[in-house]
């Protein structure tokens, strides 16, 4: 196996590109994919203050590294979800990465700062933990960014994540989620821009990037996500990808380029009848926002 660029010995092949790369050219390949995502979707303006949501996993640490290399000067935000040892370790990986590179990592702790953890919320709502977890993440990333003057929040959602979510949304024809599934959600009143610069890179590429760049990351998956439907969708997509490399990228890129427009009347996070949450001031369609309602339920029990 030879590197597509220099013909030296390759360390990884990327079947959907029908290419193999040596270490250095693989790193260049990843950077180029992120650079293309940033420019195709106008993700970052020249003076934007960028906040990367860092979970301590491979995707978000690789993203932080890549955005630093590309000159975006991003800071990080780690959210402690209170999921036992998994969260303790995830935080340590995020801190170690930031310390070694002299980067700024902000931290918000759901338990210490808001009085409840993801397991508390799951018990109180009797729903899958991921829904309280996702709701808390969206709310706290946005609020933190707004309060600290960041223009944009970047997350490490990769091609596999986007393909699995897209499959789930299509299987249910969930038109509202399809409308909101985009590599960029623009700024709107009460919302900073959200971007996903890894949409062109798969899970396996991100793991290889971390290994080759000597980035230590939390390898464990979240114990509360075990058996969730997105993991099952990933298995299905991996078997399709095995027999037909390029399936995931065609599915996701095709949706972005040709499918999304059919669902999209307004690409922002905002819905027309938004007002301010009576508790925290966040935009909401109800009297009190979903995060504040969750907090009340989860801290009561
Ligand atoms: P997930 O929802 O776990 O698939 O994570 C998707 C993205 O959300 C990650 O790539 C991170 O950018 C961000 N994220 C997830 N968990 C955390 C966390 N605990 N703190 C900060 N960002 C996170
Ligand atoms: Fe949110 Fe596991 S990371 S429930
Ligand atoms: Zn090479
Ligand atoms: Zn609120």
Question: What is the pLDDT, as a whole number, of residue 267?
Answer: 54
Question: What is the pLDDT, as a whole number, of residue 227?
Answer: 75
Q: Which helix (H) or strand (E) holds 109?
A: strand 105-109
**DSSP assignment letter at 200:** T
Q: Round to whole Å and give the CA distance between 182 and 292.
A: 26
Q: Please give the average pLDDT of every successive group of 10 residues along the chain, which has 301 residues.
A: 97 96 98 98 97 98 98 98 97 98 98 97 91 96 98 98 98 95 95 98 98 98 87 96 97 97 72 88 96 95 60
Ligand 1: does its nearest atom lie under 6 Å from the Cβ of 61?
no
Best mutation site among 43, 57, 91 for ligand 1 pocket (most ligand atoms within 8 Å of CB):
57
Map out the domains of the chain as residue ranges: 43-299
Strand residue runs (E) in 19-92: 19-21, 50-53, 75-80
Q: Which helix (H) or strand (E) holds 152?
A: strand 152-154
> Around Cβ 224, how many Cβ atoms within 10 Å?
19
Distances (CA, A) of 195 to 61, 153, 169, 192, 198: 15, 6, 19, 10, 9
Residue 276 CA to ligand 4 centre (angstroms): 8
Residue 140 CA to ligand 1 centre (angstroms): 12
- 8 Å CB contact between 51 and 154: yes
Question: What is the pLDDT, as a whole number, of residue 228?
Answer: 83
Ligand 2: does its nearest atom lie under 6 Å from the Cβ of 118?
yes
Ligand 1: does its nearest atom lie under 6 Å from the Cβ of 156?
yes
At 50, is the secondary structure helix, strand, or coil?
A: strand
Question: What is the pLDDT, as a whole number, of residue 271?
Answer: 65
Instruction: Please tell me the class of the 43-299 domain.
Output: alpha beta
> What does pTM read for this prediction?
0.96
Q: Any bridge partners for residue 184, and if so which?
A: 195
């Amino acid at each position: 196996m030879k590197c597509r660029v220099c013909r030296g010995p390759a360390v990884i092949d990327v079947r959907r590109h029908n290419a193999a790369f040596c270490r250095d050219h693989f790193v260049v390949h990843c950077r180029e994919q992120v650079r293309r995502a940033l420019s195709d979707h106008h993700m970052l303006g020249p003076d934007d203050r960028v906040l990367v949501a860092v979970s301590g996993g491979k995707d978000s640490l690789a993203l932080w590294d890549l955005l630093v290399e590309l000159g975006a000067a991003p800071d990080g935000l780690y959210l402690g979800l209170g999921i036992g040892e998994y969260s303790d370790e995830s935080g340590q990986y995020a801190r170690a990465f930031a310390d070694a590179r002299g980067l700024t990592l902000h931290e918000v702790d759901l338990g210490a700062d808001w009085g409840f953890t993801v397991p508390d919320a799951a018990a109180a709502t009797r729903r899958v933990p991921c829904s309280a977890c996702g709701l808390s993440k969206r709310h706290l990333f946005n609020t933190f960014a707004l309060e600290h003057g960041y223009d944009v929040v970047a997350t490490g959602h990769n091609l596999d994540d986007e393909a699995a979510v897209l499959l789930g949304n299509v299987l249910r024809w969930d038109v509202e989620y399809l409308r909101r599934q985009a590599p960029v959600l623009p700024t709107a009143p009460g919302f900073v821009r959200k971007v996903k610069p890894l949409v062109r890179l798969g899970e396996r590429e991100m793991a290889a990037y971390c290994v080759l760049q000597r980035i230590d990351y939390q390898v464990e998956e979240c114990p509360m996500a075990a058996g969730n439907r997105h993991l099952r969708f990933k298995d299905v997509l991996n078997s399709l990808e095995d027999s037909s490399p390029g399936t995931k990228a065609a599915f996701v890129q095709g949706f972005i380029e040709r499918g999304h427009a059919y669902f999209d009347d307004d690409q922002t996070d905002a819905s027309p009848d938004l007002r301010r949450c009576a508790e925290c001031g966040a935009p909401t369609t109800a009297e009190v926002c979903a995060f504040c309602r969750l907090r009340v339920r989860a801290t009561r029990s």
